[in-house]
Amino acid sequence: MKSLKLLTLSLFLVLFFGVVSRTHAGSMYLAWDAPSTTTDGTPLTDLAGYKIYYGQTAGIYTSVVNAGQQTQYPLATLLPNSIEGQTYYFAVTAYDTAGNESDLSNEVNYTIPWKDTDGDGLLDKDENNIYGTNPTLADTDGDGLSDYEEIYTSSTSPLVVDTDGDRLSDSDELYLYGTSPTLAHTISQDLNDGELVAQWGDRWNADDDGDGLINLLDPDAMDELITKEDLIIIVDNTEATFRGTWSTSKVVTGYWGENYHFQKAGAGQNVAVWTPALPYTGLYNVYARWTSYPNRATNAKYEIVHAQGSEIVEVNQTQNGGQWVFLGTYPFRVGSEGFVQLSDDANNYVIADAIQFELEELLSVEPIVVDNTEATFRGTWSTSKVVTGYWGENYHFQKAGAGQNVAVWTPALPYTGLYNVYARWTSYPNRATNAKYEIVHAQGSEIVEVNQTQNGGQWVFLGTYPFRVGSEGFVQLSDDANNYVIADAIQFELQMEP
């Protein structure tokens, strides 16, 4: 082989796109044409191979690889530990059997793409550092929308299945119902979208009034769905339950239905109970009906048991017989939790006829979130914003201990009822895999262990528990764990279905 100083290699460097991945250099190749003659035009017979020079600065090559006689080389093999976002510079030389080496070829460069492991259109680094989403799951919250779509198209949260808290998933609101996933009350100010879907049932996508709009999205159809007649619920004495010995009669007129029950004065052991099946959560006007006569009690005591407690209303049953007498307006949850009762604890005969529940105002109960900034802490805790996905301003953390450091979340609950309880934390490898949340409710307490190395930045269901109105119940988390525990936020969601 003649001196390579005189050799014309006809050498150039190209990037060869075979089966190209947009996120990985594994299908990218450096390629060049093999020289066939020397500079004087004579055949090149002693070509031995090629060397690839490369580095992270143009013209400065800190590494070299012997490519042998192949004329293309995969970047994945050349750069097994490449850095995302880093630009690399390459040149190639040829060498002969005597070890003579040519001049460097022209230089080319290539920038390693940032990874998008789950293919959702968001870079892994942004999912980790900006959005708090899972870079290995295209749909972090599992609501049917990709993380990219939630952030850039629908403006919903990629960390929460139901962004607006109306109990419909973001995906269903966009693609099934046509409601807004960011507004709980798309159509009605009284009922949120989820409550409307529940009330319409199978008729939600019908067009009852023929105006071209489905019932769910038609404000005019709301008048047909919610009418005053539909919202007056009467529980007669024949549907009530009775404890003790009661008699029935039709002697005095003015009763509702078939007859009425009566009981002479006693010590309260004989009780009539009217339990309605209410179609909505809301404020209800409550009325009682009886038949009047001089031997009736003037202090008959109706106890109204509602979502915020109970109240006793005394009435004079010697008057106002045969009409609906207003007892008051009270909040009730959907279903049959509330009731009205009347006992024989009175100064004369008590009459148990009928009770009426008339919806006055619909109530939509939004989930109640108690953040770490509203919680109370025993012991020494620190705050941080390092790991994304927290609720509000920051989160508290504490290293593993013996349980002496405790975080307590105490809600102010508007109603007595069953609540779904959720916890939120930020995940990291140094978190506890056995963090213990204790839910203290109206019937006792329960401890739920969670793995805080997983499911960060989302509401994790702990269970459904009974709570009384007010702030009797709470959730607490201690440092009795095998690693750092994170105290971020707790959510209490009133069950709207019976």
Q: Could you tell me if 300 and 339 lie in one domain?
A: yes
Q: Could you tell me if 313 and 378 lie in one domain?
A: no
Q: Could you tell me if 334 and 419 lie in one domain?
A: no
Structure confidence at residue 19 (pLDDT): 28
Unique residue bearing structure tokens 């979208």? 193
Q: Could you tell me if 356 and 450 lie in one domain?
A: no
Strand partners, 145: none
Structural domain includes residue 390: yes
Q: Could you tell me if 461 and 479 lie in one domain?
A: yes
DSSP 215-254: GGG-HHHHHHHS-TTTTEEEEETTTSEEES--EEE-SSS-
**What are the pLDDT digits (tens) for 147-175?**
999 999 889 999 989 988 888 899 999 99
Q: What is the CATH number of the domain that holds 408?
A: 2.60.120.260
Among the candidates 55, 88, 111, a domain finishes at: 111
Unique residue bearing structure tokens 């307590």? 408
Structural domain includes residue 98: yes
Q: Domain residues for 462?
A: 368-494
Q: Could you tell me if 316 and 414 lie in one domain?
A: no
Structural domain includes residue 325: yes
Structure confidence at residue 438 (pLDDT): 97
C-alpha atoms less than 13 angstroms from C-alpha of 177 in its C-beta half-sphere: 30
Phi, psi angle pair for 127, to nearest 5° = -65, -40
Q: Exposure of 250 by Cβ count < 10 A (0-12 exposed, 13-18 middle, 19+ buried)?
A: exposed
Structural domain includes residue 119: no
Q: Could you tell me if 286 and 333 lie in one domain?
A: yes
Structure confidence at residue 59 (pLDDT): 93
Structure confidence at residue 206 (pLDDT): 80
Neighbours of 2 (CB within 10 A): 14
Total count of domains within the chain: 4
- Strand ranges across the sheet with 485-487: 382-384, 395-398, 485-487
Structural domain includes residue 413: yes
Structural domain includes residue 407: yes
Q: Could you tell me if 476 and 379 lie in one domain?
A: yes
**290: part of which helix (H) or strand (E)?**
none
**What are the pLDDT digits (tens) for 16-75?**
433 222 333 346 888 888 887 766 677 878 889 999 999 999 999 999 999 999 988 888
Q: Could you tell me if 208 and 242 lie in one domain?
A: no
Mean pLDDT by runs of 10 across the 498 residues of the chain is 38 37 53 76 84 94 94 88 90 87 86 90 90 92 92 90 88 90 81 78 76 75 56 92 96 95 96 92 92 97 94 97 96 90 97 93 79 96 94 96 96 85 96 97 94 94 90 96 97 72
Structure confidence at residue 6 (pLDDT): 30
Q: Spell out the residues 6+ positions from residue 126 whose beta carbon is closer than 8 angstroms to its own.
A: none
Q: Could you tell me if 324 and 257 lie in one domain?
A: yes
Among the candidates 111, 136, 164, a domain finishes at: 111
Structural domain includes residue 118: no
Q: Spell out the residues 6+ positions from residue 58 whose beta carbon is closer than 8 angstroms to its own.
A: 89, 107, 109
Structure confidence at residue 363 (pLDDT): 67
Structural domain includes residue 117: no
Structure confidence at residue 364 (pLDDT): 61
Q: Could you tell me if 387 and 436 lie in one domain?
A: yes
Among the candidates 340, 362, 384, a domain finishes at: 362
Q: Could you tell me if 308 and 348 lie in one domain?
A: yes
Where are the strands (E) in 316-389, listed by range?
Answer: 325-332, 339-343, 350-352, 354-362, 368-371, 376-378, 382-384
Q: What is the CATH number of the domain that holds 42?
A: 2.60.40.10
User: Residues 288, 327: contact at Cβ < 8 Å?
Assistant: yes
